[in-house]
Amino acid sequence: MDYLVAVLLPQLLHGLVFGAALGLLALGLTVIFGLLGVMNFAHGELYMLGAYAGIAVIGWTHSFWVALVAAPLIVGVLGALTEVATLRPIYRREPLYGLILTFGLALVFREGVRQIFGGDMRRILPPFTGSTPLLGMTYPNYRLFLLAASSALLLAIWLFFTRTRAGIIVRAAVQDAEMLDGLGVDVRRVFTLTFAGSAALAALAGLLLAPVFTVYPQMGVEMILLAFIVVILGGMGSLGGSVVAAVVIGLAQSLFSLWMNPQRVAIAIFGIMIVVLILRPRGFFGREGVLE
């Protein structure tokens, strides 16, 4: 029973938070793919850039909270610029080109960061320390904050997609991008804003999680691979599906880490993906009739 409370429960909570971050990334990928027709290989790098932008801002202002606002903004703007400069010209082309271009972007971002900040591991200190007794265990305050923050974020996103006009339009357009033309909205602006928004969210996730994990240029790579698995399992037709799949993978990752070393964990997650694909080739939420 002690084990359950002292070890398992915290790990479950870690998993939820990690899953929420993954969900943010997977959502961003899904929305960008649905709207722009581009699978953004550089999305993990945007997550990583959030952490590094945070490091830079904290360096100037010594405030984590300022960074929490500034870093996503910075990355969001970077995202908007990138989208206008590189993605806009290739909307109508075959999806193959988008893949390759974002792959190139990922390389540039990753290596660029390595050049500027060096390849060493960095740390961002949590803005507050201490722990709280909770359900029979003591849980670090910052992680509690993360739990609250990620829930709030997901709730906010859900509200955006279901209650705001902009969100409803985006959600519908993810299913069928052509309908945007008929609505009289400036399609290009929608695309740029969407991309910038996804980038900002990814950056926010990166910064929020940074005090818990170490910061290094490759950190986006692991996240993007997991995000791809989430997208494969959740399918890209359903936004809710992405979040559910992300939480499942996040929990699995967290729990497996209790018992296996990181490499085995990776292979175990991969194994889960294979099993699901065998049983449900379209993923959890695949749709019939769409010749996927």
Sites of contact with other proteins (CB under 8 A): 33, 39, 86, 89-90, 93-97, 99-101, 103-108, 110-112, 115, 225, 228-229, 231-232, 263, 266-267, 270, 273-274, 277, 281-282, 288-289, 291-292
- Alpha-carbon distance of 203 to 292, in angstroms, equals 31
CB of 209 to other proteins, least distance (A): 21
- Alpha-carbon distance of 104 to 100, in angstroms, equals 6
- Residue ranges of alpha helices (H) inside the chain are 2-3, 9-36, 43-61, 64-82, 95-117, 141-163, 165-175, 179-183, 187-209, 219-234, 239-259, 262-279
Cβ-based nearer residue to other proteins, 105 or 204: 105
CB of 256 to other proteins, least distance (A): 14
Instruction: Return the sign of the alpha-carbon dihedral for residues 182, 186, 192, 196.
Output: negative
* Residues 9, 236 contacting (CB under 8 angstroms): no
Cβ-based nearer residue to other proteins, 47 or 228: 228
CB count within 10 Å of CB 162 equals 11
Cβ-based nearer residue to other proteins, 65 or 270: 270
Q: Report which DSSP code applies to 1.
A: -
CB of 84 to other proteins, least distance (A): 12
Cβ-based nearer residue to other proteins, 90 or 149: 90
Cβ-based nearer residue to other proteins, 150 or 198: 198
Cβ-based nearer residue to other proteins, 16 or 42: 42
CB of 97 to other proteins, least distance (A): 5
3-class state of residue 240 by DSSP: helix
CB of 220 to other proteins, least distance (A): 13
CB of 195 to other proteins, least distance (A): 16
* Residues 62, 204 contacting (CB under 8 angstroms): no
- Alpha-carbon distance of 265 to 139, in angstroms, equals 24
- Of 281, 253, 230, 189, the residue nearest 28 (C-alpha): 230
